[in-house]
Structure 1
Amino acid sequence: MSGGWNTIESDAGVFTYLIENLGVKDVQFEELMTLDPDELRQAGKVYGVIFLFKYPTGETRSDTPKDGSFDYDASTNIFFAAQTIQNACGTQALLSVLLNKDGELEIGKELREFKEFTGEFPSELRGEALSNSDLIREVHNSFARSSPFVDETQRVATEDDDVYHFIAYTSINNKLYELDGLQPAPISHGACSVDEFPDKVIPVLQRRIERYPATEIRFNLLACVRDLRLHAREIGDMEALEAEEHKRTEWQWENALRRHNFVGFVGELLKGVVREKLKQGDGAYEKWVEESKAKTKKRSEERRKQGVVDED
């Protein structure tokens, strides 16, 4: 493999443009704010959902899942890939939905060829093929936040770290499947048609969340749906179309910001401020430094009074 995989955010704009850059057409992601089947149905035609949660790093793998049942036969009949590399689970989860909906949507030439190439592979080899795909890795990494301080491809998580994991839920062959690359096989949650998906998947997600302490609120749910602009055009809702186009513009701007780090810019800005203070003469620079120190000391004292302890 020629390079590593960086961490990407669980963000509708990131996922939407990621799959678009992979050649998928007329599909987008929508963030769901509640575990309500009606909210999921309102998103239009739903292909599946991507769920992000805190992964229990100390948990050992069991022969039986905590909910549902392993469907080992399905591993050869649907696209299911084992996760073989850190940080790839977000893209792997969305591909788990898309590659199993090939007949319902346009996944593009590259992904179709990848699916055909790995069609007869066991799940472990599919995972290796995905991890070694230059195209998929490069598109994935293009949406990672730029960081001049951390090499995310080298860091290894420990049991003390907060580790987050993406998995997919979708209806395939009239069954509700949980597709998690860290599990040995797809997990079946029973009969489920495409139309029943919103009503069937929400209780499964609720049961999963209930296994966590009530104080744990760090979950995220994204729905993979048909491009909402298409429906707006079909029904002639110009207001909804304008809102969706505006949302796309904001996503593009946010994605552009993710590709840049601003350390150099901030450094040059500070240099400029210092130069201006030095030009003023008469001790202006020293006065500015002392004023800054006094303000910092005042903030620290106020934080201590409030019971907040500053970290070293």
Structure 2
Amino acid sequence: MTSSNKVGESTHIKSDISPCAAPEIRGIVEQKENWGGWATTLNDATIFEYIMRQVGCESVAVRELYSMEEDYLREEKSCYGIIFLMPYNEHYETQAGEELTNLPDGMWYSNQIADNACASYALLNILMNLKNVPLGTQLEGFREFTLGLLPPHRGQAVDGFKSIKNAHNSFCFRYEIEEADLILYEEAVGDSDSKLEPGSKENPRTKRTKFKEAEEAQDQADQIDGPHHYIAYVQVGGCLWELDGLKQTPFKVGDCDNENFAVRVGSRMRELTARCSDLSIDFGIFALEPARAPQLDKQYQTNAREIGAIEHKLQDTDPHSSLSKEDIIRSGLLILTPLDTDDFGHHDGMATEQLLELRTNLIQKQKEIEMEKDNLFNEESRKALELARNRHDYEPFILTMATMVWEQQQAEKQRQAETKPNKPNKPKKRGRKRR
């Protein structure tokens, strides 16, 4: 698959495909948008990126990591932060942070006040702590609005952030909304059917043993099919912080820098997973890092301006060596005038042969960037198609098709019964009796 996008244009594919105009589908979309709750989120890096793109953040990408071992994480040098997905229950709660009267200088932290929203809270707890990274108008405005709020109040602001809530709930199905509302209802009114069983005369020691066995069995089941929780790790002020929205305050893991950030996070994740008795349980690890497309655009523009500076210098020293307009048009090469802030002082003192060699290398780099941009465009196209499929709720379609097939089968049976001719009774043949 190839693309015809020009370098310098955005490679981002609009994954927010317009929904079907059918009333049933439109009704499901409106139900998601008007729903006040939060649905669970799949552990997929593409979904995290989709949430960011829907609120205007184009400069950050999400990539899944496949190991928490030190040798693997040592190569991760450009992480903005890491999100860790782990089984969550009372036995494996993360270590609570110290009671802090004030957050560290420059830290943005929000408590999680909404159920099933830990993915978006973890995402925001990293994005809001990024400095000198363009996040887009919505996120930067949200950070400015919540800068002076306490963590619980920030949590309420996140719960009311409609854009990110709609993006978060884009992949939920109708039955998940109904199930979440039912759970909330049962928690509010209580389970009227639950009654305390009368005490038995069973040996207390036997009862404790059975209770412990049942607790361990339930513990194993929760690790596989039970609730999971997203936790954010970010570096602020030269320290590694664990930002678990369910905790009142952040937890300071220890000192770290850009070089050993991922390694320190891996050590902490291994500490948490050691509490799980079944080490075969799957965990999710997602790294937030600079998006590749903006970097390629910036490098391409810089190379184009440097080629322009070389051409300007060649026209002054050796006009026959400069590129003609026909060559530029034929090759599709982009040449820009250098900016006042550009410093190409290393061109001074270069001979014509050196300038030509440098120009050839830059043109080759531009071709490589164009190929990588095309690959990114194709990858974004694949992600957009995958997201569109994941966002669509196929339940109404399946129910409608099943109903249509059943009705067609019933109508066919009825038609066969009505058109079947009545056969006359044939007289019975009388056989000869043997004597």
Q: For the superposition of Structure 1 and Structure 2, which TM-score range results when normalised by the shorter chain? A: 0.7 to 0.9
When residues 40 and 2 of structure 1 are mapped into structure 2, their CA distance, relative to the original with a 3 A threshold, is: same
Unmatched 5+ residue regions in structure 1? Answer: 284-312
| Matched-pair contact (CA < 8 Å) for 2:50–2:167 | no
SS at match of 2:41: coil
| Matched-pair contact (CA < 8 Å) for 1:30–1:43 | no
Q: 2:229 corresponds to which residue?
A: 165
Shift, 1:201, TM fit: 1.3
Q: 1:258 corresponds to which residue?
A: 390
| Matched-pair contact (CA < 8 Å) for 1:32–1:39 | no
Shift, 1:254, TM fit: 2.3
| Matched-pair contact (CA < 8 Å) for 2:77–2:259 | no
Aligned 1:123-142 pairs, distance under 5 A:
123-142=151-170
When residues 60 and 148 of structure 1 are mapped into structure 2, their CA distance, relative to the original with a 3 A threshold, is: closer
Q: 1:306 corresponds to which residue?
A: none
Out of 175-184 and 41-50, give the one that drifted further: 41-50
**Cα shift readout 1:31-78 (whole Å, capped 9, x = no counterpart):** 1111145544656621011111111146789xxx37xx5372562631
> Partners in 2 of 1:240 and 1:44 — Cα distance?
21
Shift, 1:194, TM fit: 2.0
Aligned 1:18-167 pairs, distance under 5 A:
18-37=51-70, 39-40=72-73, 45-57=78-90, 65=95, 70=98, 72=100, 75=103, 77=105, 78-101=107-130, 103-142=131-170, 144-148=171-175, 150-154=177-181, 155-156=183-184, 162-167=226-231
> Partners in 1 of 2:178 and 2:85 — Cα distance?
22
Number of equivalences: 276
SS at match of 1:70: coil
Shift, 1:220, TM fit: 0.6
When residues 202 and 73 of structure 1 are mapped into structure 2, their CA distance, relative to the original with a 3 A threshold, is: farther
The answer to whether structure 1 residue 217 and structure 2 residue 281 are counterparts is yes
> Partners in 2 of 1:141 and 1:169 — Cα distance?
24
> Partners in 2 of 1:131 and 1:184 — Cα distance?
17
> Partners in 1 of 2:66 and 2:92 — Cα distance?
28
| Matched-pair contact (CA < 8 Å) for 1:43–1:225 | no
When residues 123 and 278 of structure 1 are mapped into structure 2, their CA distance, relative to the original with a 3 A threshold, is: same
> Partners in 2 of 1:213 and 1:193 — Cα distance?
32
Q: 1:5 corresponds to which residue?
A: 38
| Matched-pair contact (CA < 8 Å) for 1:75–1:122 | no
**Cα shift readout 1:63-96 (whole Å, capped 9, x = no counterpart):** xx37xx5372562631111111101110000111
> Partners in 2 of 1:146 and 1:108 — Cα distance?
29
> Partners in 2 of 1:121 and 1:149 — Cα distance?
32
| Matched-pair contact (CA < 8 Å) for 2:273–2:279 | no
> Partners in 2 of 1:177 and 1:51 — Cα distance?
13
> Partners in 2 of 1:256 and 1:224 — Cα distance?
23
> Partners in 2 of 1:241 and 1:205 — Cα distance?
34
> Partners in 1 of 2:93 and 2:262 — Cα distance?
30
| Matched-pair contact (CA < 8 Å) for 1:50–1:169 | yes
Shift, 1:240, TM fit: 5.0
When residues 44 and 269 of structure 1 are mapped into structure 2, their CA distance, relative to the original with a 3 A threshold, is: farther
SS at match of 2:266: helix
> Partners in 1 of 2:373 and 2:79 — Cα distance?
19
TM-score, scaled to structure 1: 0.76
Out of 88-97 and 39-48, give the one that drifted further: 39-48
Shift, 1:245, TM fit: 3.2
> Partners in 1 of 2:58 and 2:71 — Cα distance?
25
Kindly report the root-mean-square deviation, in angstroms, between the aligned alpha carbons of the 2 structures.
3.2
| Matched-pair contact (CA < 8 Å) for 2:45–2:63 | yes
Q: Which amino acid aligns with 1:16?
A: E
Out of 218-227 and 52-61, give the one that drifted further: 52-61
Determine which of 176, 195, 201 is the counterpart of 2:240.
Answer: 176
Q: Which amino acid aligns with 1:84?
A: I
When residues 252 and 89 of structure 1 are mapped into structure 2, their CA distance, relative to the original with a 3 A threshold, is: same
> Partners in 2 of 1:53 and 1:174 — Cα distance?
26
Shift, 1:276, TM fit: 6.7
Unmatched 5+ residue regions in structure 2? Answer: 1-33, 188-214, 300-364, 418-435
Q: 2:21 corresponds to which residue?
A: none
| Matched-pair contact (CA < 8 Å) for 2:54–2:164 | no
Q: Which amino acid aligns with 1:209?
A: T
Shift, 1:117, TM fit: 1.6
Q: 1:205 corresponds to which residue?
A: 269
SS at match of 1:75: coil
Q: Which amino acid aligns with 1:269?
A: M
Out of 70-79 and 253-262, give the one that drifted further: 70-79
When residues 2 and 195 of structure 1 are mapped into structure 2, their CA distance, relative to the original with a 3 A threshold, is: same
**Cα shift readout 1:259-283 (whole Å, capped 9, x = no counterpart):** 2221232234334545279659769
> Partners in 1 of 2:92 and 2:67 — Cα distance?
27
Determine which of 189, 193, 208 is the counterpart of 2:257.
Answer: 193
Identity %: 26
Q: Which amino acid aligns with 1:210?
A: A
> Partners in 2 of 1:188 and 1:181 — Cα distance?
14
Out of 162-171 and 223-232, give the one that drifted further: 223-232
> Partners in 1 of 2:288 and 2:36 — Cα distance?
28
